[in-house]
Amino acid sequence: MFAERNLRIAAVLLAVAGLAVATYIAIAESGGGAPKCIAGGGGCETVANSKYSDLAGVNVAVLGILGYVLLLASAAIPGDYGRFGGFLTGLIGFGFSAYLTYLELFVIDAICQWCVASAILMALSLAVAATRALAYGGRELAPPQIQSSHGR
Amino acid sequence: MEGRREERERLRAERAAAESQQAGALARKRRAQYLIIAGFAAVAAIVALIVISQSGGDDNGGGGSPSDVRGVAQVDSELSGIPQNGQVLGDANAPVTVAEFGDPQCPVCAAFSEQIAPELISSEVKSGSVKYEFRPYLIIGPESKPAMEAALAAGEQGRFWNYLQLFYRNQGEENSGYVTDAFLTSIASAAGVEDIDKWNQSRKSSNWESVLTNGTNEAESLGFNGTPSILVEGPNGQKALSGFQLSEIRSAIQQVG
């Protein structure tokens, strides 16, 4: 069993890494640009310029930043608010990342390495958040144990 | 006295154990409830995000937004594996040339590009018996020139046809102001133009004046007065078509080839 403290530290590290990736994508895409694919190939430009890079006018990388900030906050918050908040955020982030990866593979026909990196970080964040919620969730929701003072 | 105290302590320990067990069971129950609620909430949120994502792009008709380049996958798939050299698509040694005189702003050219040209490209051009060449014949208006120059500059990086096909698929209303630098750049990125700076420099240069003038002069000398107009050239001469149906083009290929 992982100690909850270690799980929270892992969640913080993953969220910080994800935040860095999402921030880079958002900055690179601001003003009509695109992140630079390290391995070349133009996939990042194609993905950045596809119609799916925005969601109701908001760049999906900005949504990524929001997701990682929430994961960071949930890792910092002790107790069940942090545990289940992190789990919920991780689930949404992972589900949406999976959908975006599907779009890259089968609709846009281009892969952006930065988006893949973010999807992997989101999947790991979910794994950590789920472990924390499953192993430690619900504890302080139970009534406190009352030591009887009139035990006859 | 001793016996009663022991009995009290035993009862207390039993009660504590029972309470602890009850607390553990309650914690498990609550945990399961919260996990299920979180699961449903997450599914609902993901579905909402996907619905917004799917509907968002479709609302932007007419190729206005730089992040709304449609048809990238189809165009990439259509042109995949076919050599490009400037405005020429296909094997440079192909005996027959099908030349399309067109204007990037022309909606009929866009329809031709989506409905008729793919068949020609996937068979005759892909097999190497025909090369397909685009020659500019700009008749729609002032926004045709920057659009054409952008496509020609993309041709320097082997992406003319990707550019043109994507431009067609993202056309706006003729001369409505949609041919902006941002729009052209978004098409270039989606078309796979690697060096955007070089492309920008080239499209804004005066290099293309002669290409545009030659295209117009040739189209007029052939008696064309609309776009798209098709000229088929081969070892047995050339044939300027009055229409642009696939059957006419294929028949002309037979005649001149």
Residue ranges making up the domain that contains B111: 72-256
ipTM above 0.90, yes or no: no
Collect all residues of chain A within an 8 Å Cβ-Cβ radius of residue B28.
Answer: 138
Asked if A92 and B12 come within 8 Å (Cβ–Cβ), the reply is no
Which of B34, B77, B167, B196 would best serve as a mutation to test chain A binding (most A beta carbons within 10 A)? B34
Residue B10 forms contact with A (CB below 8 Å)? no
C-alpha A12/C-alpha A31 separation (Å) is: 30
Establish if B239 belongs to a structural domain.
yes
Asked if B67 and A48 come within 8 Å (Cβ–Cβ), the reply is yes
- How much is the pLDDT for B145? 95
Establish if B97 belongs to a structural domain.
yes
- How much is the pLDDT for B1? 60
**Among candidate residues B145, B157, B147, the one with its CA nearest the CA of residue B186:** B147
- How much is the pLDDT for B63? 38
Establish if B67 belongs to a structural domain.
no
Who among B11, B66, B76 is closest to A109 (CB)? B76
- How much is the pLDDT for A151? 39
Please name the fold of domain A4-136. de novo design (two linked rop proteins) (1.20.1440)
Give this prediction's pTM: 0.51
The pLDDT of B204-214, averaged and rounded, is 92
Asked if A151 and B52 come within 8 Å (Cβ–Cβ), the reply is no
- Provide residues of A within 8 Å CB-CB of chain B: 32, 34, 42, 45-46, 48-57, 80, 84, 87-88, 91-92, 95-96, 99, 107-110, 133-134, 137-139, 141-143, 145-148, 151-152
Percent of chain B with pLDDT over 70: 94
What's the structural domain count of chain B?
A: 2
Residue B62 forms contact with A (CB below 8 Å)? no
The pLDDT of B138-145, averaged and rounded, is 92
Cβ(A81)–Cβ(A135) below 8 Å:
no
Same domain, B77 and B5: no
Who among A50, A147, A151 is closest to B8 (CB)? A151
Q: How many CB atoms lie within 10 A of CB B252?
A: 22
Per-residue pLDDT of chain A (152 residues; tens, 9 = 90+): 688 899 999 999 999 999 999 999 988 877 656 787 776 666 787 777 676 787 877 889 999 999 999 999 999 999 889 999 999 999 999 999 999 999 888 877 778 889 999 999 999 999 999 999 988 887 764 444 444 444 33
Instruction: Sketch the domain layout of chain A as residue ranges.
Output: 4-136
**pLDDT over 60 at B72, yes or no:** yes
Establish if B1 belongs to a structural domain.
yes
Same domain, B216 and B181: yes
Shortest Cα distance, chain B CAs vs residue A129, angstroms: 11
Residue B19 forms contact with A (CB below 8 Å)? yes
CATH number at residue B223: 3.40.30.10
**Among candidate residues A19, A123, A44, the one with its CA nearest the CA of residue B196:** A44
- How much is the pLDDT for B76? 87
- How much is the pLDDT for A147? 47
If you write DSSP's letter for every residue of A43-111 in order, what string do you get? HHHHHHTBGGGEETTEEHHHHHHHHHHHHHHHHHS-HHHHHHHHHHHHHHHHHHHHHHHHIIIIII---
Asked if B20 and A146 come within 8 Å (Cβ–Cβ), the reply is no
The pLDDT of B97-126, averaged and rounded, is 92
Residue B43 forms contact with A (CB below 8 Å)? yes
The model's pLDDT over A76-115, given as tens digits with 9 standing for 90+, comes to 999 889 999 999 999 999 999 999 999 888 877 778 889 9
Residue B17 forms contact with A (CB below 8 Å)? no
**pLDDT over 80 at B254, yes or no:** yes
Half-sphere exposure of B188 (CA within 13 A, CB side): 32
Who among B39, B60, B73 is closest to A109 (CB)? B73
Same domain, B38 and B77: no
C-alpha A83/C-alpha B169 separation (Å) is: 47
Cβ(B131)–Cβ(B94) below 8 Å:
yes
**pLDDT over 60 at B59, yes or no:** no
Shortest Cα distance, chain A CAs vs residue B208, angstroms: 26
